[in-house]
Structure 1
């Protein structure tokens, strides 16, 4: 009767322990918002240029060859590929945690028992026959298989594996985002190189025109139609243009090296067609709908996967409040001498044990991990919403930029045409002594700056088209 009563008390105590352990603290959970504006302040259209492959988006064969080389050799991209491999191995490790761990082992040892120990004193005082006494020292040889297994009752380990798998998908999206940025950066650097080449050609042509004007002024000085001041001003203008030429040459070298760096190779000449720059036209813009950013932008997809992984981490942290069950087992052979190991069944051994444990007292550490997991999840919600907002803003900015650059290019082209005519007029007037030399200098300077600005605007148009393609999530497919 007493034994039965004791068992009831122990059972009630264990039940109270389990119930107390399973009680989890309350959390304030924040859910993400997936709402985006209906459009980019343009007419709604589901056609999206981000769906085009980069091989179809870019038409310059030299640029496509550079991109293909960069996708194979870029060191940063290859580093990211190894991070993906690390994330894949993490899945394997997590999967192994909820499967039994089985190992083979062998053991050999020797043990000398002291006279005044329990075993030594017992053997000394018990009447044991001489031929059956325990050997002293005692050798021990074992050979067998041993296994341990944590039974995943609450799916804690399986949920941790799902979290690892989700982070692997996030790392893949991170690689896709890097591909998009790499292609965009390479294309903008390539267009910058073409623009610099054209600016260098203009400055060389302008140096020739200025040198001819300098010779004319010198002749006019000899005939007393011009002063030494005019000669020096024209000479200063020629030297200023030559200085600008060397600066442009240095920028070309640096831009070439940057492209080679992105392509993962040492500096070498970049194959390009300078004359084709003025014939390049920005791609027609098809922005699609803002909701398509959620599926097209790799960084948004990456933030979404990280958020899903953070939610799974909260489930894993919650499961630590529940009791855990572990099983251990072993089977093998054991004997005093190696030769006796094969003597079965006398040398056979086996073991089986189970442990159940639940946190009851001093659970502050577990609570802290639980609260931290929820804080990381809340953080991931904000990061996701921030990424979506940034994606929308980037597209909206680039769409506005393209519209304004188109108008700016038209106005700048008219300015260049007007200044080209003014240069011819000023030179004609100067030869006939009807215009001052300063008018010629100022007109040539303004014409040069306007030509440079026109090329710069052309480059910005091409880069804006690339930036829209990148902002919409194109380039990684």
Structure 2
């Protein structure tokens, strides 16, 4: 009776102490804006457009298709899904009894001055004494089952399911980033192709200018200094061309790396760099990011998983109810094991196991799960905020780049006219060679800047598609 009371009060103490383990955690949440723009509340978003329709470039589409099959980061993300799926299967199996086939054989020799020896030496079975050592053979089934009274195993399974769903969203996030990275590298390559073409045209023009100056020197209308300046400018442009050729090689290799293949030529059309960008981009409303962006969805499932993990950690403080059973053939001699039904034996047991001494380890695990839940909750809020900021930045970037392109186009036109005028004035001795050199240098710089701005604009259209949640 005293033992029963001790057990009762021990269990009561455990249950009461567990009431202090709070699993209802919360953090301050900042309310997200209702729109990205004060003048627009349209819910249409380009994130819903399939990436093949969005990019509409057959060469780029082919590259992305190859990347989605061969890219190593994506393959690793797929394996993380398989790992999470196996975790779900394992946690689901923990809910059911474990039944094992058991074949066992043993031998025990009792020391002479023991209770077992004394008992066996005076016991006869079918007219014979029990041998010493005595053999023991068993062939049958054993089963164990932890009855999930407090929901520990069910919560572990729910956590595994949430982690599995998070891994799927993680894979989609990798896919979205891969598509964007491939497109960005592709536009880098188109820009370099156009830079190379511009440099080659400039080199041709500078060759012609150098020949003119050399002829003028021969007739006494120019000096050696002018020839050297024109020649130096030509050499500088030729060096820029070599540098651009190296960048093209490296960028092609970067694309091939994303595609999971060794270096090979990349098919492309350099004119695609200047494809028209829509004047209006449908960006929807901030609340759609919760559904469209896979990184936010992944963070949300991680929060769910952490909540179930915390509940499972709390349930570990409660007594666990275990049931065990065994049935099979058993005998101390193999010739008896299948002789009759008398060789069939069985056993059944059940009991509560309550943690009493090692509670510090359970508290440490609970505190770990609690800190992990708070961490992923903060990460969820951070991911939402980051998504909003990224969209706001790209929307502003697209507008500014559109204006810059307009200005740079006008500047380029003015400087091309300045080159023509400077050459004519130089022939008429109304301008010196430095003015011609300056006009050529300024024109080249502006053309390269215009190419770069067009590249930035195309990359901005890739980024806005990605940050709105497109590409998976």
Place the TM-score, normalised by the shorter chain, in its bin: over 0.9
Assess, with a 3 A threshold, how the Cα gap between structure 1 residues 127 and 417 changes in structure 2: closer, same or farther.
closer
User: What is the DSSP-based 3-state SS (H/G/I as helix, E as strand, rest coil) of the residue aligned with 1:139?
Assistant: strand
Q: Following TM superposition, by how much is the alpha carbon of 1:256 offset from its aligned partner in structure 2, in angstroms?
A: 0.6
**Aligned match for 2:451, one of 448, 455, 459:** 455
Q: Point out the more displaced range, 281-290 or 396-405.
A: 281-290
| Contact residue 32 and residue 382 of structure 1 kept, 8 A | no
CA RMSD between the two structures: 1.6
User: What is the DSSP-based 3-state SS (H/G/I as helix, E as strand, rest coil) of the residue aligned with 1:224?
Assistant: coil
| Contact residue 170 and residue 294 of structure 2 kept, 8 A | yes
* Whole-angstrom distance in 2 between the partners of 1:233 and 1:337: 109
Counting only pairs closer than 5 Å after superposition, residues 69-468 of structure 1 correspond to structure 2 as 69-124=66-121, 126=122, 131-281=127-277, 284-361=280-357, 363-468=359-464
Residue matched to 1:3:
none
Establish whether residue 19 from structure 1 lines up as the match of residue 19 from structure 2: no
* Whole-angstrom distance in 2 between the partners of 1:266 and 1:165: 38
* Whole-angstrom distance in 1 between the partners of 2:75 and 2:418: 55
Q: Following TM superposition, by how much is the alpha carbon of 1:275 offset from its aligned partner in structure 2, in angstroms?
A: 3.0
Residue matched to 1:39:
35
* Whole-angstrom distance in 1 between the partners of 2:31 and 2:384: 9
- Between the two proteins, the alignment pairs up a number of residues equal to 468
Q: Per-residue CA shift, 1:207-249, capped at 9, x if unaligned?
A: 0000000011011111111010000000000000000000000
Q: Following TM superposition, by how much is the alpha carbon of 1:360 offset from its aligned partner in structure 2, in angstroms?
A: 3.3
* Whole-angstrom distance in 1 between the partners of 2:126 and 2:166: 72
Q: Following TM superposition, by how much is the alpha carbon of 1:20 offset from its aligned partner in structure 2, in angstroms?
A: 1.1
* Whole-angstrom distance in 1 between the partners of 2:274 and 2:458: 11
Q: Per-residue CA shift, 1:349-396, capped at 9, x if unaligned?
A: 100011202223452221221122111111111000000000000000
User: What is the DSSP-based 3-state SS (H/G/I as helix, E as strand, rest coil) of the residue aligned with 1:346?
Assistant: helix
* Whole-angstrom distance in 1 between the partners of 2:264 and 2:179: 19
| Contact residue 295 and residue 301 of structure 1 kept, 8 A | yes
Assess, with a 3 A threshold, how the Cα gap between structure 1 residues 14 and 114 changes in structure 2: closer, same or farther.
closer
| Contact residue 144 and residue 323 of structure 2 kept, 8 A | yes
Q: Following TM superposition, by how much is the alpha carbon of 1:34 offset from its aligned partner in structure 2, in angstroms?
A: 6.8
Q: Per-residue CA shift, 1:93-141, capped at 9, x if unaligned?
A: 11111211101111122332222222223444x4859942012332222
Give ranges in structure 1 of 5+ residues lacking alignment.
Answer: 1-5
| Contact residue 282 and residue 465 of structure 1 kept, 8 A | no
* Whole-angstrom distance in 2 between the partners of 1:70 and 1:377: 35
User: What is the DSSP-based 3-state SS (H/G/I as helix, E as strand, rest coil) of the residue aligned with 1:145?
Assistant: strand
Q: With structure 1 as the length reference, what TM-score do the two structures score?
A: 0.95
* Whole-angstrom distance in 1 between the partners of 2:467 and 2:73: 21
| Contact residue 405 and residue 454 of structure 2 kept, 8 A | yes
Q: Per-residue CA shift, 1:376-422, capped at 9, x if unaligned?
A: 11111100000000000000000000111111110000000000000
User: What is the DSSP-based 3-state SS (H/G/I as helix, E as strand, rest coil) of the residue aligned with 1:115?
Assistant: coil
| Contact residue 73 and residue 264 of structure 1 kept, 8 A | yes
| Contact residue 282 and residue 462 of structure 1 kept, 8 A | no
Q: Following TM superposition, by how much is the alpha carbon of 1:31 offset from its aligned partner in structure 2, in angstroms?
A: 4.1
| Contact residue 257 and residue 268 of structure 1 kept, 8 A | yes
Structure 1 residue runs of 4 or more that deviate by more than 6 Å after TM superposition: none
User: What is the DSSP-based 3-state SS (H/G/I as helix, E as strand, rest coil) of the residue aligned with 2:328?
Assistant: strand
